[in-house]
Amino acid sequence: MPRIHFLDVTNRDGVQTARTGLSKFGKTMVNVYLARLGVAQSEIGFPFLFHEQPYVRAQVALAEAGALGGLRLSGWCRGVRADVDKALPLGLKHYNLSISTSDYMIQNKFRGRLDRRAIIGEMTAAVRAAKDGGAETVGVNAEDGSRTDEGFLLEFALAAKEAGADRVRYCDTIGGESPGHIRERFAALASATGMPIETHCHNDLGMAVANSVAGALGDLEAGQDAWINTCVNGIGERAGNADLLSTILAFRHGFGLEKTEIGDALDLSWARRFALWASYAFGQPLPYNQVGVGRNAFAHESGIHADGALKDHGNYELFDEAALGPFPADWHGREGRVVLTGEYGGKAGFRHVMEGLGVEVVDEELAFQLVQLCNAMTGRPLTDDELRLIAAYPRELALLFPGQL
């Protein structure tokens, strides 16, 4: 039976959100939380960029040390061989290679530099380079796929498959899709190619989650696994991407979706910790009505609703809020007298905090230096989960700071 998998792109598309940013240590924490949640794959960033490479090496080392569980790490490259050649020495085993496919972008983005034939040539050369370099899986991204005509989209997908690609990512780059339309296109394309078509939906019309669910159903109809791109808290360029938690909950609790099977061993008891951490790290407050994790997601006031919820929360709640885990209560958020550890702290404060958290520190001197460096990098107090990661994996995290430790 075909199954649904989640491929989160917070560390690639999410960090491109305008007027925000995330440190390399923050990107590391995204991968840690995705691993705790049981998501299949994280698109961790851009391995061909010089400033991403120490971070990528650190993620590979963390994965080898067991810090990321079964999370698969993938790199995003443009669909050109030069990017792939720069990325391969870093040791990633999974890639997504992206190139524009719509006539609109061919005319208005490439402006005569590439035509359809050249686009397929660039893409297939990049796929072969990745596979020849040892990549286990390669996805090919049809940027602006939702505005690409069906004939060329099929030609592009079949050429990718012949070159060795494992999936094609259908990018609704400008967020104009609708559920019925995308489901039909996915079912047709997955059937014609015999390979999964991966959803990548933007939220410009407020339908990114609905479109992701519908596209995945088209895959399942065609007998193919579905791969869904998401971002934590629905962040992303412009109006954002499909929200990770909302999409998971849709398949778990959406009416008519009971027969779908999720292929990832998901543990939603980490959902609130991840969402609140991401809000803190990105500096983006969660809307009160954010699905599952917003302040009002399980709040009742009006008389009829309050009466019904007091009698049985199922009267007015679709699922039990306890499934989403506890809200974080971090050391740095304590009121009154508190001793913290950070960029300008000393050993006494460091030891006090670690002992208070009940954390066993693997290498005290290195972990202490990492606390200082990571606090300087993020510019904010470190959370309990961040401190625990530093204490447990200081040698791997030291790769984030080449030449400094």
Amino acid symbol at 209: V
Provide the 10 A C-beta neighbour count for residue 89: 11
Q: Residue 172: name the closest of 149, 207, 151, 145 by CA.
A: 145
The arithmetic mean of pLDDT across residues 127-150, rounded, is: 98
Taking 3-state DSSP, the helix, strand and coil percentages for the chain, each rounded to the nearest 5, stand at 50, 15, 40
**What pLDDT score was predicted for residue 173?**
98
Amino acid symbol at 66: G
Residue 3 pLDDT exceeds 90:
yes
Residue 158 pLDDT exceeds 90:
yes
Provide the 10 A C-beta neighbour count for residue 31: 25
Q: Residue 30: name the closest of 58, 51, 5 by CA.
A: 58
The average confidence (pLDDT) of the chain is: 97
| Phi and psi angles of residue 294, each rounded to the nearest 5 degrees, phi first | -70, 160
pLDDT tens figures, 353-380? 999 999 999 999 999 999 999 999 999 9
DSSP helix/strand/coil, 379 = coil
Which pTM value belongs to this model? 0.97
- Per this entry, what is the length of the chain? 405
Please tell us whether the domain made up of 4-271 is placed in CATH 3.20.20.70.
Answer: yes
List beta partners, residue 231.
Answer: 243
Q: How far apart are CA 140 and CA 137, in angstroms?
A: 10
**What pLDDT score was predicted for residue 310?**
87
Residue 258 pLDDT exceeds 90:
no
- % residues pLDDT > 70 (the chain): 100
Instruction: Give the tokens for residue 404.
Output: 């400094």
The alpha helices in 242-296, defined as continuous H runs, are 244-253, 271-282
The arithmetic mean of pLDDT across residues 102-113, rounded, is: 94
Where exactly are the structural domains of the chain? 4-271, 331-400
| Phi and psi angles of residue 189, each rounded to the nearest 5 degrees, phi first | -70, -40
**What pLDDT score was predicted for residue 112?**
85
Provide the 10 A C-beta neighbour count for residue 56: 24
Burial tier of 222 (Cβ tally within 10 Å: 0-12, 13-18, 19+): buried
pLDDT tens figures, 204-247? 999 999 999 999 999 999 999 999 999 999 999 999 999 999 99
The arithmetic mean of pLDDT across residues 14-20, rounded, is: 94
DSSP helix/strand/coil, 61 = helix
The arithmetic mean of pLDDT across residues 146-168, rounded, is: 98
Lowest mean pLDDT: which of 56-70, 107-121, 299-313? 299-313
Instruction: Give the tokens for residue 119.
Output: 């686009």
Residue 307 pLDDT exceeds 90:
no
**What pLDDT score was predicted for residue 326?**
95
Q: CA 10, 90, 73, 359 torsion: positive or negative?
A: negative
Amino acid symbol at 383: T
Q: How far apart are CA 378 and CA 371, in angstroms?
A: 11
The arithmetic mean of pLDDT across residues 301-314, rounded, is: 89
Q: Which of the pair, 310 or 84, is modelled with greater confidence?
A: 84
